[in-house]
Amino acid sequence: MQFNIPDTGKKRIVIIGGGFAGLTLARKLANSDYQIVLIDKNNYHQFQPLFYQVAMAGLEPSSIAFPLRKVFQKNKDVLIRVTKVQSVDSKKQEIHTDIGALHYDYLVLAMGADTNWYGNEQIRANAIPMKSVSEALYLRNKIFEDYERAVTADNYDQRQRYLDIVIVGGGPTGVEVAGSLAEMKRHIIPKDYTDLDRNEINIHLIHGAPRLLNTMSEQASAAAKKFLEELGVQLSLDTIVHDFDGENVHINDGSTIRADKVIWAAGITCNTIEGLPDTSFTSSSNRLKVDAFNQVEGVESIFAIGDLACQTEAAYPKGHPQVAQVAIQQARCLASNFRRLQKKQPMNPFHYRDLGSMATIGRNRAVVDLPFWRFQGAFAWLVWLLVHLFSILGAKNKLFIFLNWVWNYFTYDQSLRLVIKPWQRKPG
């Protein structure tokens, strides 16, 4: 196999990763005088902030995924290749992948991040991450399969193993999953599973810091805590899960929680690539050190943007937060700088503009921190909905998500509670 990339005489920018950073950069350079090769292991862009709604049967997977080729149908100089990148040779200016090697003039690393298991292989083997559409679908299947098992369980103890669920990590993903599960317990279980007692369902949220959403304001943290407690979520703050064997969650205070399902939302670590010098990486989370122009330290013609890039400013001495807005803004700045390089003009340094952060904890419950205004409750929830709706790619996706949200709001019902298992070929 091989790339089959034509040599057009234009300088080639290879972008690895089709997330917020990589896709934004490719779109901004689509009509430039560069040849763009966008590489990803999937043929679609995933809208990560709404993974939890797929997992909770609120949205179809296709609503938050968009085909990469469709984005660039009218751009002949943007080429998509679906493969896994193995390594980079910075001296030869080549990347090595499952389908062969490819030369680049500029390489942009935008591979994002994955779940951080903190070296605990047993937790990794048994807990459920949520960093992709496929993982969200797996969680959806697991939840509803276990409800079906609970209906036929012989006794209370056996039933609890299927009903109880533990979420580890009190960041935006953790609180959003906890809120959705609590609303499912309130509104869906009594209708779909009339022979189950919803009061037997225990939802635990365990967080290793003293307050939830610790990257947001204290007002947002306090409101999130209040909202979750109102929904019946059992909170354990300043508490660490140090093991999970598939049946019991072991806490640092010596206690255990009996549960078959643990959702792991406790941290991220960056996806890496072989071939870069060790000095290019930070000591934690595998982030790449980049200068003010997002160029990777220690190598030439290689840039990093998004979660992978560790770029410091006076306001961010430890690097920018690993959020979508940083990735998008870095991509826009780098696209502008590539155009400046074509004109032999000096590049402009990147400066992050904090537009705020937000999280939702269920119907009419959300928290929003803007640079000059912080608010919580129903209006914050409406703002959260609008921001995410307009951020989704594709008019059809926007329409379907809007219709799903309206339907769910007025009917207190999700229509996607399907257990769809992947087909497997029978042996023999």
- Of residues 178, 156, 158, the one with CA closest to residue 167: 178
Q: Is residue 366 part of a domain?
A: no
- Of residues 327, 230, 272, the one with CA closest to residue 111: 272
Contacts of 35 (CB under 8 A, 6+ apart): 5, 8, 10, 11, 12, 13, 77, 79
Identify whether residues 126 and 242 lie together within a single domain. Answer: yes
Burial 368-404 (b: 16+ CB within 10 A, else e): bbeeeebbbeeebbebbbeebeeebbbeebeebbeeb
Domain boundary among 266, 298, 318: 266
What is the rounded CA–CA span in Å between residue 239 and residue 339? Answer: 49
* CB contact at 8 A, 12 and 37: yes
- Per-position DSSP letters for 74-143, written without gaps between them: T-TTEEEEE--EEEEETTTTEEEETTEEEE-SEEEE---EEE--TT-HHHHHHSB--SSHHHHHHHHHHH
Contacts of 88 (CB under 8 A, 6+ apart): 94, 95, 96, 107, 273, 274, 275, 276, 302
What pLDDT, on a 0 to 100 scale, did the predictor assign at position 3? 79
Domain boundary among 342, 374, 396: 342
What is the rounded CA–CA span in Å between residue 18 and residue 306? Answer: 11
Burial 93-130 (b: 16+ CB within 10 A, else e): bbbbbeeeebebebbbbbbbbbbbbeeeeebeebbbbb
What is the rounded CA–CA span in Å between residue 309 and residue 321? Answer: 10
- Report the chain's terminal Cα–Cα distance, integer Å: 29
The values of phi and psi at residue 88, to 5°, are -130, 140
Identify whether residues 60 and 128 lie together within a single domain. Answer: no
Identify whether residues 176 and 287 lie together within a single domain. Answer: no
Q: Is residue 379 part of a domain?
A: no
For residue 269, give the H/E element and its range. strand 268-270
Residue indicated by tokens 């993982």? 135
Identify whether residues 279 and 317 lie together within a single domain. Answer: yes
Residue 298 has which token pair? 């220690």
Q: Is residue 138 part of a domain?
A: yes
CATH number at residue 69: 3.50.50.60
Identify whether residues 206 and 219 lie together within a single domain. Answer: yes
What is the rounded CA–CA span in Å between residue 1 and residue 314? Answer: 47
Residue indicated by tokens 């234009």? 10
What is the rounded CA–CA span in Å between residue 100 and residue 85? Answer: 9
Range of the domain at 295: 12-115+269-342
**Binned average pLDDT, 10 residues per bin, the chain of 428 residues:** 82 96 96 94 93 89 91 93 94 93 95 90 94 91 92 88 94 94 90 89 94 93 96 94 93 91 92 89 84 94 95 90 94 97 94 94 93 94 93 88 86 75 72
Q: Is residue 139 part of a domain?
A: yes
Q: Is residue 338 part of a domain?
A: yes
Pairing of strands 373-376, 309-310: unpaired
Identify whether residues 139 and 239 lie together within a single domain. Answer: yes
The model's pTM: 0.93
Identify whether residues 105 and 136 lie together within a single domain. Answer: no
What is the rounded CA–CA span in Å between residue 154 and residue 382? Answer: 43
Residue 128 has which token pair? 């459920």
Tally of domains within the chain: 2
Identify whether residues 32 and 151 lie together within a single domain. Answer: no
* CB contact at 8 A, 229 and 261: no
Nearest-Å Rg of the Cα atoms of the chain is 23
Q: Is residue 385 part of a domain?
A: no
What is the rounded CA–CA span in Å between residue 308 and residue 315? Answer: 19
**Residue 8: how many other CB atoms lie within 10 Å:** 11
What pLDDT, on a 0 to 100 scale, did the predictor assign at position 417? 79
Contacts of 96 (CB under 8 A, 6+ apart): 85, 86, 87, 88, 89
Contacts of 346 (CB under 8 A, 6+ apart): 340
